[in-house]
Structure 1
Amino acid sequence: MNAASLLPEKISVVVPLFNEEAVLPQFHFRLLRVMDELASEYEIIYVDDGSRDRSLAVAHNLKAAEARVGIVELSRNFGKEAALTAGLDVASGDAVVIIDADLQDPPELIPSLIEKWREGFDVVYATRTSRDGESFLKKFTAHWFYRLMGKLSDTEIPADTGDFRVMSRRAVAALGQLREQHRFMKGLYAWIGFRQTAVLYRR
């Protein structure tokens, strides 16, 4: 065991926001409960992507009540890929979790992702085994999107997998070297390589 392994780990959580005013307090409450149970140092980074509602104001209220909350405010709506990149650029954790605030992906799954990271995986992505509550059209288009991307790309992109994942510090650093203007994050996650694995869940 080296000296570095004795240091407490730090986990960053990057959360892009776009018009999430209604659900953000509930998401934050559930996220705090999960992170407090992990017994790790952590930070939560909300990235407001030019929301037109009160998402940014709500985020500032959350920051006022919790010192471990940070906010990145984009000047306008640049899109989720840009918001994710901005959040990853400022995240300082040994592991970085990416999760949306809309509660379609459960914060309670984060400990399972972190467990796999602690086992030595650099990228641990959450893969949906079902899409409860979504329309047939939504399920159909999502199914064929991932299959089509798999056919078009030389890099295998995991099917039924969104942005919800945890990445190691070196994976985040490698992703940070890729500064394409038109970014497809799901492809970039796969392209950087390293040890990757999935955690399955029902959405």
Structure 2
Amino acid sequence: MIPILNEEESVGPMYDHVIKALDPLETPFEIIFVDDGSTDRSFELLSQMAKDDPRIVVLKFRKNAGQTAAMMAGIEYARGDMIVTMDGDLQNDPADIPMMLAKIEEGYDLVIGWRMNRQDKWLSRKLPSMVANKLIGKITGLPVKDNGCSLKVYRSSVIKRVPLYSDMHRFIPAMTLPLGARIAEVGVRHHARQFGVSKYGLSRIFKVLLDLIAIKMLLLFADKPIRRFFGLAVLAFVLTLVSLWPLLDAWAGDHSVMMQTTITMLLGSLSVFFLLLGAVASLVHQRLGGVNLRWD
């Protein structure tokens, strides 16, 4: 599964490399390209390729939705028992796929590639990635050398149960661990970009931090989430009742009640918020099959 965004010069060579890597395996496969709202000729070229080779599937977004959304669309559509994801800019090497497939056959559910001798700029790409990998490992409890490497192999039965949004494709390994996933890491080749420009910059750091906060909340409250959030909601409701007494007293005495009214309204709103948040967390919990999202 390959997400594409304005990679008209890369799609042809990418197809050739994938075919060269997979044809010798003599096993059925499909190549899913997800056009994430490209404005160049990427979709036109992919459509023609699909006409020439029935193993190619092309999905198209009407507008750019981001790499995570593109990956989830491709994963949802995929029909095979194994799903391989990779970037469409030729920096990942399809020649590594057979080795990774062999690794997953050893009994793993997810095989993660980590880019050896990474061919990216140090300040804008390598340094933020190093910091992010350390931070993600610390917060999730799963140390992974290279969360940002898109070249991964999954068992379909596992990855299709993982709910993702925003830019959470970087956290897929951590999100599969609660499902009991067995994970392996292997070194893979990495090439300098030949065509086009990178779609990422330092601005993504803020998105990663926000998603990390969301994942930390999920890990903390996903075990019986409605019960945990209900406790917080009850606490906020009790504080609301407590704050009502001085508010009524202020009204009776014809004093200024602006501040007290504001506090009471905030506490009441917080109580409702925690109840709704617990309901949402319960839905996520059910989507993951009712597993415990906490691990040691």
Task: State the TM-score bracket (shorter-chain normalisation).
Answer: 0.7 to 0.9
Cα distance change on mapping 1:185 and 1:192 into 2, 3 Å: same
8 Å Cα contact 1:19-1:53 kept in structure 2: yes
The equivalent residue for 1:3 is none
Which structure 1 residue ranges, 4+ long, deviate > 4 Å from structure 2? Answer: none
Structure label with greater radius of gyration: 2
Greater per-residue strand proportion: 1
1:136 and 2:126 are equivalent in the alignment = no
Unaligned regions of 5+ residues in structure 1, if any? 1-13
The equivalent residue for 1:117 is 104
Moved more, 53-62 or 193-202: 193-202
2:183 alignment partner AA: Q
Greater per-residue helix proportion: 2
Give SS of 2:65's match: coil
1:160 and 2:146 are equivalent in the alignment = yes
Q: CA deviation at 1:183?
A: 4.4
Give SS of 2:13's match: helix
- What is the rounded CA distance, in whole Å, between the counterparts of 2:141 and 2:60 in structure 1? 32
- What is the rounded CA distance, in whole Å, between the counterparts of 1:105 and 1:202 in structure 2? 7
The equivalent residue for 2:202 is none
8 Å Cα contact 2:92-2:189 kept in structure 1: no
The equivalent residue for 1:184 is 168
8 Å Cα contact 1:16-1:83 kept in structure 2: yes
Q: CA deviation at 1:181?
A: 3.9
Of residues 156, 163, 166 in structure 2, which corresponds to 1:169? 156
- What is the rounded CA distance, in whole Å, between the counterparts of 1:182 and 1:101 in structure 2? 20
1:56-135 to 2 correspondences below 5 Å: 56-132=43-119, 134-135=120-121
8 Å Cα contact 1:155-1:187 kept in structure 2: no
8 Å Cα contact 2:96-2:189 kept in structure 1: no
2:67 alignment partner AA: K
Unaligned regions of 5+ residues in structure 2, if any? 191-296
- What is the rounded CA distance, in whole Å, between the counterparts of 2:33 and 2:165 in structure 1? 22
Of residues 6, 23, 41 in structure 2, which corresponds to 1:54? 41
- What is the rounded CA distance, in whole Å, between the counterparts of 1:129 and 1:83 in structure 2? 26
1:104 alignment partner AA: Q
User: C-alpha offsets along residues 122-177 of structure 1, whole Å, 9 cap, x if unaligned?
Assistant: 10111123213x222122222112112223x23425122422111012212322xx
Structure 2 length-normalised TM:
0.60
- What is the rounded CA distance, in whole Å, between the counterparts of 2:2 and 2:142 in structure 1? 25
- What is the rounded CA distance, in whole Å, between the counterparts of 1:79 and 1:65 in structure 2? 28
- What is the rounded CA distance, in whole Å, between the counterparts of 2:182 and 2:17 in structure 1? 29
- What is the rounded CA distance, in whole Å, between the counterparts of 1:139 and 1:66 in structure 2? 37
Structure 1 length-normalised TM:
0.86
Q: CA deviation at 1:75?
A: 1.3
8 Å Cα contact 1:157-1:186 kept in structure 2: no
Cα distance change on mapping 1:157 and 1:51 into 2, 3 Å: farther
